[in-house]
Amino acid sequence: MEYQVGILGGGPGGYVCALRAAQLGLSVVLVEGERLGGTCLNQGCIPTKALVKSADLWRDMGRASEFGLFVGEKHVDYAAVIARKDQVVNALVGGVEKLMKAANIRVVKGWGEFKDVGQISVTTGDGVERILVENVVLATGSSPVRIPIPGIDLPGVVTSEELLQETELPERLAVIGGGVIGLEFATIYQTFGVRVSVVEILPTLLPAIDEEIPKRLTPLLKRSGMEILTKTAVKEIRQEGVNLIVQVEDAKGVREITVDRVLLATGRRPCLRGIDIDNLGLELEKGAIKVNAQMQTNLPHVYAIGDVVGGIMLAHVATAEGIIAVDHIGGRSVAMSYRAIPSAIFTHPEIATVGNTEQELKALGKIYRVSKFPFSANGKALALGESVGLVKILADDEGVIVGASIMGPQASSLIAELVIAVDKGLRAEDIARTVHAHPTLPEAIMEAAHGIGGKPLHLA
């Protein structure tokens, strides 16, 4: 049998691509060597958010007296925290498996190889199966980058995937990398009482987002007890007894940090495993598969989506790209747009962004307007006891919203309103004149929108 669509990789890009193909009436086979859901569901987005919830509850328990509530003795059973994380992941993986079955999608468990156009070879427990496919979608994801540092392979030097399996908390953790992955784990572990040091070679944490946000976040993290070392390079890691010694260097010289665990959070790279680039003649760009706006490669009937194409390595981007690819296979006129891609960072407080940053607009020489509204002036945020942070909106000279950043309670959910605004080219006035329920957190967005054309209402 020849399938109309063959998908290599069952992550959030691959499995959604398969579901969409089935909806369009296409015959589809999906090949996955591990569990459905990919890194996001099994070792990334979902398990870390389960840990974030446990950390949030622990933090709230410590603040209960502020709300007139008094609890007895409390302790963290981290093995139980990890067990709950596993339950959440297993439930969602099971849900994806049921969706595949309900859509009559053939799922082949095994390591797939794409060497020749028109077929995928899969190594399973029963041997090698060659599957004929009319169109191939490459969705092989990414893998953690292991930077070349002496001692990087020592026991106790782990990636996020390995750290998620540990059932005991270390006393001290060094996080190499001040990006999204590093800071989310740093926040979780710091909340549970682990002494955390974050080492970042660049001048600022979270360098890809609006620079005002990390400037506001860094002192908050330091106040919580976290050690933040920017403009600092890791020279080596060595073992002394049961401890790991991380040698770092900044403008002041060399110093050493003694820890139990080292988390490598220095980014991810496209995973090209199983794809015979040379034999196929597949075109790459900066180590990633090159595609057009329809997610087509340079080869007829070969598409690529998600982290393997580089760019914005986010699960929801992979999902959107998967839908675009299979819609194009199905004959629809579509194109992938990166105009309004939201990003959510689950530190405390949460951070979410969309569109242009202020430094980007400055670099482009654009005329723009800025408006900010603090959560300290929002009634719902005060009632929640989460008044740290702000909404920041950027608009062009005509008041059209081109970017936004939120740092504060439920930022990851609040950003959706501004994603729509950026995507649809809405003016700040459109948001300001939309009636928002009271008392709610989205009123902070409305207030910031008022500030683009005038002044927020509840700000002196």
| pLDDT tens sequence across 365-377 | 999 999 999 999 9
**Quick one: tokens of 98?**
């049921």
**Quick one: tokens of 73?**
């003795």
Q: Is 15 helix (H, G, I), strand (E, B) or coil?
A: helix
pLDDT at 263 over 90: yes
Produce one character per residue of 269-279: b if its CB has 16 or more CB atoms within 10 Å, e if not. bbbbebbeeee
Q: Is 136 helix (H, G, I), strand (E, B) or coil?
A: strand
User: What residue numbers does the annotated binding site for NAD(+) cover?
Assistant: 177-184, 200, 267
Query: Angle of helix 78-102 relative to helix 14-23, nearest 10 degrees?
Result: 30
Partnered with residue 396 across adjacent β-strands are 368
Mean pLDDT of 422-436: 98
Lowest model confidence (mean pLDDT) among 124-128, 160-164, 299-303, 334-338: 124-128
**What integer pLDDT is reported at residue 150 of this predicted model?**
95
Q: Please name which of 237, 282, 273, 230 lies closest in space to residue 256, comparing C-alpha atoms.
A: 237
**Quick one: tokens of 214?**
């990390």
Mean pLDDT of 263-282: 94
**What integer pLDDT is reported at residue 289 of this predicted model?**
97
**What integer pLDDT is reported at residue 56 of this predicted model?**
97
Higher pLDDT, 1 or 442: 442
**What integer pLDDT is reported at residue 460 of this predicted model?**
84
The set of residues, in sequence order, having a beta carbon less than 8 Å from that of 380 and lying 6+ positions away, is 439, 440, 441, 443
Q: What is the 3-state secondary structure (H, E, C) of 95-151?
A: HHHHHHHHCCCEEEECEEEEEECCEEEEEECCEEEEEEEEEEEECCCEEECCCCCCC
**Quick one: tokens of 13?**
């890009």
- Of 328, 438, 450, 458, the active-site residue reads 438
pLDDT at 352 over 90: yes
Tally Cβ neighbours within 10 Å of residue 362. 12
User: What residue numbers does the annotated binding site for FAD cover?
Assistant: 49, 112, 140-142, 307, 313-316
Q: Please name which of 168, 170, 158 lies closest in space to residue 196, comparing C-alpha atoms.
A: 170
pLDDT at 71 over 90: no
**What integer pLDDT is reported at residue 222 of this predicted model?**
97
CA dihedral (324, 329, 333, 335) positive or negative: positive
Higher pLDDT, 392 or 146: 392
pLDDT category of residue 126 using cuts at 50, 70 and 90 = confident
pLDDT at 60 over 90: yes
pLDDT category of residue 31 using cuts at 50, 70 and 90 = very high
Residue matched to tokens 């890809």: 208
Q: Please name which of 141, 140, 123 lies closest in space to residue 131, comparing C-alpha atoms.
A: 123
Residue matched to tokens 């996080």: 175
- Pairing mode, if any, of strands 268-270 and 142-144? antiparallel
Q: Please name which of 100, 80, 127, 81 lies closest in space to residue 35, comparing C-alpha atoms.
A: 100
Mean pLDDT of 211-227: 97
CA dihedral (414, 416, 419, 421) positive or negative: negative
Instruction: Rounding to the nearest 10 degrees, give the CA dihedral for residues 438, 442, 446, 452.
Output: 150
- Pairing mode, if any, of strands 172-176 and 157-159? unpaired
Residues 9, 32 contacting (CB under 8 angstroms): yes
pLDDT at 124 over 90: no
Query: Angle of helix 315-329 relative to helix 14-23, nearest 10 degrees?
Result: 30
Query: Angle of helix 443-453 relative to helix 411-424, nearest 10 degrees?
Result: 40
**Quick one: tokens of 68?**
């007139």
Produce one character per residue of 244-265: b if its CB has 16 or more CB atoms within 10 Å, e if not. bbbbbeeeeeeeebebbbbbbb
Angstrom distance (rounded) from CA 135 to CA 8: 11
Please confirm, yes or no, whether 458 is among the known catalytic residues. Answer: no
Mean pLDDT across the chain: 96
Mean pLDDT of 112-125: 92
pLDDT at 318 over 90: yes
CA dihedral (433, 407, 419, 55) positive or negative: negative
Which domains, ranges and CATH numbers included, belong to the chain?
Answer: 3-144+269-330 (3.50.50.60), 157-266 (3.50.50.60), 342-453 (3.30.390.30)
pLDDT at 113 over 90: yes
**What integer pLDDT is reported at residue 436 of this predicted model?**
98
**What integer pLDDT is reported at residue 125 of this predicted model?**
82
pTM of the model: 0.94
- Pairing mode, if any, of strands 302-304 and 253-259? unpaired
